[in-house]
Amino acid sequence: MSKSKGWPLWEVFIRSKQGLNHKHVGSLRASDATMAIKNARDVYTRRAEGISIWVVPSNNITASDPNNEDSLFEPSQSKVYRHPTFYDVPDGISHM
């Protein structure tokens, strides 16, 4: 990880309050995970934006290829029956 002289890049995820997902907020440099957490605290939560932090080395993230976007995501668009609005509910019935 340290072939270059500089510190590796980390991606930062923050949970802004209990009950919400961690959300990607940006990246930073740090020599190790402990420092990455501390730097994330100082850089991304200066205004009490978070209660929990995840850091992940950027080079450990595998991303889907945007060139395969069509085959990855479009097939699900035609499956409208996965959504409740696909179904007719007779008038007079609420709460379903």
* Chosen residue from 13, 14, 30, 50 binding another protein by CB under 8 A: 30
Tokens representing 45 are 């939560």
Question: According to the binding rule CB under 8 A, does residue 83 interact with another protein?
Answer: no
Residue 63 is a binding residue for another protein (CB under 8 A): yes
Span near another protein by CB under 8 A; candidates 13-21, 58-66, 77-85, 86-94 = 58-66
State the number of CA atoms in the 13 A half-sphere of 49 facing the CB: 16
* Contact call for residues 28 and 7 (beta carbons, < 8 A): no
Q: How many CB atoms within 10 Å of residue 44?
A: 18
Q: Which of 20, 29, 51, 59 binds another protein (CB under 8 A)?
A: 29
